[in-house]
Amino acid sequence: MSTIQQVAKAAGVSVATVSRVINHSDKVVDETRERVERAIQELNYSPNMMGRNLRRNATEIIMVLLPSISNPFYSQTVNGITAVARSNGFTVMVCNTLSDRKLEQDFLNLLKFKLVDGAILMSQEMDDSELEELGRLYPVVQCSEYIDAAGVPYVTIDNASAAYEAVSHLASLGHTRIGMISSKVNYYSAAQRQAGYLQALQDAGLEFESELIKFGDYGYGSGMKCAEQFMRMQNKPTAVFAISDPMAIGALKAFRQKGLKIPDDIAVVGFDNIRFSKMCEPELTTIAQPTYKMGCRTMELLLERLEHKQDLPEKVIMDYELIIRGSTVAGS
Amino acid sequence: MSTIQQVAKAAGVSVATVSRVINHSDKVVDETRERVERAIQELNYSPNMMGRNLRRNATEIIMVLLPSISNPFYSQTVNGITAVARSNGFTVMVCNTLSDRKLEQDFLNLLKFKLVDGAILMSQEMDDSELEELGRLYPVVQCSEYIDAAGVPYVTIDNASAAYEAVSHLASLGHTRIGMISSKVNYYSAAQRQAGYLQALQDAGLEFESELIKFGDYGYGSGMKCAEQFMRMQNKPTAVFAISDPMAIGALKAFRQKGLKIPDDIAVVGFDNIRFSKMCEPELTTIAQPTYKMGCRTMELLLERLEHKQDLPEKVIMDYELIIRGSTVAGS
DNA sequence: ATATTATGTGTAATCGATTACATTAAGGGG
DNA sequence: CCCCTTAATGTAATCGATTACACATAATAT
């Protein structure tokens, strides 16, 4: 690896001139510029970012923290983030926290240590006060999953209202006993979706009991387990609302394995509209979030932060959509 | 953000001593150490990685390049990589190339510019000679998808033999007309799987014609399209081998939509054993790669490279497994 | 008591870039 | 022909850390 000094020597100029050529400063006469460019070619030189960044105090890299790339919900969002980031000269790297607090810390240290310029959080293991401090000290924006109290900007949908709509849909189909598959971990979005579920039951005049909510981990397997719990109940639900598509799909699978007909014996609604939700049998009714756009908007907020344009914590609420398919209405 | 100088001044010592405390060098007397640690606390100091890395010429970050985090096949591999990386003090960041040559280049520049120490390639858009040069200059290892000629180490399975086994399985069930869904893009693994497919046909005494191979992009949608093409043929296949699970699942979906019974009317085999392959209807027969272990092994190779222990390009071939499920044998 | 060694800390060079300021040379005006 | 402006390039400080080496002091050996 060659350095700017070697290039300068080879071209017979000073390092300053080489730097000017690299950075397209106009104060270099053509003949010199050519000589430098030839030297760069010959030495196969590329500037060491460490040196540059140390001086500039910026890396033009942003990171996206998410619990697991295995959840297909995230990929579209990341694509949106990447699109906006790229057109502004930023590089995006994805960090898999595995919902591990320590690992999350390690990644966030890259922010503190100035190895990345900013971060987008799509989930966080830290508590409110830690997040609040993080947001105060560094450019950070939340997307989809969020904590409201912390004064950190976020982009999300109205989870309560989305859940309300999903459950009301089930109620309007005549279901009177509606179960829910929520999350073991107490995410804010999960709490909001539970609130929406409860409100919908209440507004439809349906009764609730705590047995109607089971708790999973957003994955297929836990959806199957929850479905089995439902089937062991004496007074079984005839419809289930799950807060993730994989759990809904797992539940579908378990119900069908026990010989139940979907949607006649039991209807299922999911959340996120992952690609698989159209591939399962029957296709899954679900809530679609505008994932790509949410990613774009989030990156825009982060850019504002990075440029200090905006110091108020912005809160962006985007529209969702209930997509009705065969898991609740036959033949859709 | 405070610097080591500020800490030094606050503690009344030199920067060297502060550095010694940070790096747990033992040549610091307890009383001094405490004073420094108190100053670090008070100033909320953390070392600037840019400065440190510039000096050390290492970042302890490695990156994983993959075409899209949306393909669930990658997540387990990344988990394996992360596990080994972490226990060796490395941080893993995932880079989404979207199969875009330019974007891939941008990421690889981070290697050249020394912002990351090494890279794991899970697919590449560059050609053989570019890869060869990359591997010569930087610590790079390939995983799963690879180019053999380039002298860059890799971890993979025997794709030809896996495809051979999958297709032989179909032949042994009595299928005589077996189609294949391959990849538009000419990946090495795809070519190998095609070779295995052809060999299996030949060894089973089955005839081949070019119409029997359709080309997709690894995603669901393309699987459906290929299935529709098969169904429009005059002499339709009774079995199909797809080189990705999503394409196989898309094909399943399309066949079922046309009223075909699986596996009686048409049998389907996929590749990769993604989680969803157990959730579809019927469950998918597929080839399982030891993804987590492959990730671990790949990271180990990269570590060897980073430590210059190993200069020979290592080639690791791991075992696969044919998992037989309901899409080829009813009731499995 | 003196010489020697070990121990803890400080000084300053260094990593590879950027950039304010200094310097030099060329061109223009009187 | 000389002075002043302007343009191109060079010099050297700087970013924030690490670390070889120097140095001072205390402990040990003779």
Nearest by CB: B93 against A75, A95, A252: A95
Give B-chain residues touching A114 at CB under 8 angstroms: 1, 48-50
Q: Pick from B37, B10, B7, B6: which is nearest to B21 by CA?
A: B37
Give B-chain residues touching A59 at CB under 8 angstroms: 50, 115
Q: Which residue of B has its CA nearest to A56?
A: B50
pLDDT of residue B218: 92
Left, alpha or beta for B92 (phi > 0: left; psi -120 to 50: alpha)?
beta
| Distance (Å) from the alpha carbon of A206 to chain B's nearest alpha carbon | 32
- Closest protein residue to D6 using CA and C1' atoms? A27
Give A-chain residues touching B103 at CB under 8 angstroms: 86
Cβ within 8 Å, pair B96-A109: no
Residue B2 has pLDDT above 70, yes or no: yes
Give B-chain residues touching A95 at CB under 8 angstroms: 92-94
Nearest by CB: B280 against A1, A59, A279: A279
pLDDT of residue A231: 97
Nearest by CB: A93 against B95, B220, B281: B95
Residue A326 has pLDDT above 90, yes or no: yes
pLDDT category at A224 given cuts 50, 70, 90 is: very high
Residue B121 has pLDDT above 90, yes or no: yes
pLDDT of residue B191: 96
Are residues B46 and B104 in contact, defined by beta-carbon separation less than 8 angstroms? no
**CA dist., res. A66 & res. A98, Å (int):** 8
Q: Which residue of A has its CA nearest to B279?
A: A253
Residue A1 has pLDDT above 80, yes or no: no
Q: Average pLDDT in the B31-59 region?
A: 87
Query: What DSSP designation does B117 have?
Result: S
pLDDT of residue B308: 74
Q: How far is the CA of B32 from the C1' of D5 (A)?
A: 58
Q: How far is the CA of A103 from the C1' of C18 (A)?
A: 34
Lowest mean pLDDT among A24-28, A170-174, B127-131, B187-191: A24-28
Residue B181 or B332, more confident: B181
Cβ within 8 Å, pair B72-A68: no
Residue indicated by tokens 């893993």: B92
Q: How many CA atoms lie within 13 A of A40 on its CB side?
A: 16
pLDDT of residue A150: 84
Q: Which of B62, B115, B245 to mutate to test the interface with A (most CBs of A within 10 A)?
A: B115
Q: How many CA atoms lie within 13 A of A141 on its CB side?
A: 31
pLDDT of residue A66: 95
Structure tokens at B249: 């699942």
Window A51-110, strand C contacts by Cβ < 7 Å:
51-52, 54-56
Residue B1 has pLDDT above 80, yes or no: no
pLDDT category at A310 given cuts 50, 70, 90 is: low
Element (H, E) at B214: strand B213-216
Average of per-residue pLDDT values in chain B? 92
Cβ within 8 Å, pair A49-B74: no
Q: Average pLDDT in the A189-198 region?
A: 97
**CA dist., res. B288 & res. A170, Å (int):** 38
**CA dist., res. A293 & res. A146, Å (int):** 17
pLDDT of residue B313: 75
Q: Which nucleotide is nearest to A11 (CA to C1')?
A: D9
Residue B309 has pLDDT above 70, yes or no: no
Q: Average pLDDT in the A173-178 region?
A: 97
Cβ within 8 Å, pair B50-A50: yes
pLDDT of residue A309: 66
**CA dist., res. B91 & res. B110, Å (int):** 15
Q: Pick from B228, B221, B287, B284: which is nearest to B255 by CA?
A: B228
% of chain A with per-residue pLDDT over 90: 68
Cβ within 8 Å, pair A70-B72: yes
* Protein residues with beta carbon less than 7 Å from any atom of strand D: A 12-17, 20, 26-29, 31-33, 51, 54-55, 57; B 1, 3-5, 15-16, 19-20, 22-23, 45-48, 50-52, 54-56
Cβ within 8 Å, pair B86-A103: yes
Residue A287 has pLDDT above 90, yes or no: yes
Work out the angle at residue A254's Cα, subtended by the Cα atoms of residues A248 and A257, and round it to the nearest 5 degrees: 140
Nearest by CB: B93 against A59, A79, A93: A93
Structure tokens at A170: 């089930």
| pLDDT tens digits, A69-121 | 888 889 999 999 999 999 898 999 999 999 898 889 889 988 887 889 999 99
Residue B289 has pLDDT above 90, yes or no: yes
What single string gives the DSSP state of each residue in A163-217?
HHHHHHHHHHTT--SEEEEEESS--HHHHHHHHHHHHHHHHTT----GGGEEEE-
Q: Average pLDDT in the B318-327 region?
A: 98
Give B-chain residues touching A63 at CB under 8 angstroms: 93
| pLDDT tens digits, A228-277 | 999 999 999 999 999 999 999 999 999 999 999 999 999 999 999 999 99
Q: Which residue of A has its CA nearest to B56?
A: A50
Give B-chain residues touching A46 at CB under 8 angstroms: 109, 112-113
pLDDT of residue A312: 73
pLDDT of residue A315: 94
- Closest protein residue to C10 using CA and C1' atoms? B14
Q: Pick from A92, A60, A87: which is nearest to A74 by CA?
A: A92
Instruction: Label residues A103-115 b or e (16+ Cβ within 10 Å = b).
Output: bbeebbebbbbbb
Q: How far is the CA of B38 from the C1' of D27 (A)?
A: 30
pLDDT category at A167 given cuts 50, 70, 90 is: very high
Give B-chain residues touching A50 at CB under 8 angstroms: 50, 53-54, 57, 59, 113-115
What is the value of pTM for the model shown? 0.89
pLDDT category at B97 given cuts 50, 70, 90 is: very high
Residue B46 has pLDDT above 80, yes or no: yes
Are residues A119 and A63 in contact, defined by beta-carbon separation less than 8 angstroms? yes
| pLDDT tens digits, B76-90 | 999 999 999 998 989
Cβ within 8 Å, pair A114-B249: no
Q: State whether the beta carbon of B57 lies below 7 angstroms from any atom of strand C.
A: yes
Average of per-residue pLDDT values in chain A? 92
pLDDT of residue A219: 92
Q: Ranked by mean pLDDT, which of A155-169, B69-83, B120-134, B297-311 comes out on top?
A: A155-169
Structure tokens at A74: 């995230």
Q: Which nucleotides of C are covered by protein (CB under 7 A)?
A: 7-12, 14-20
Residue A307 has pLDDT above 90, yes or no: no
| pLDDT tens digits, B220-255 | 999 999 999 999 999 999 999 999 999 999 999 999
pLDDT of residue A233: 96
Nearest by CB: B112 against A46, A115, A281: A46
Q: How far is the CA of A87 from the C1' of D20 (A)?
A: 45
Cβ within 8 Å, pair B110-A96: no
Q: Which nucleotide is nearest to B52 (CA to C1')?
A: D17
Q: Which nucleotide is nearest to B30 (CA to C1')?
A: C8
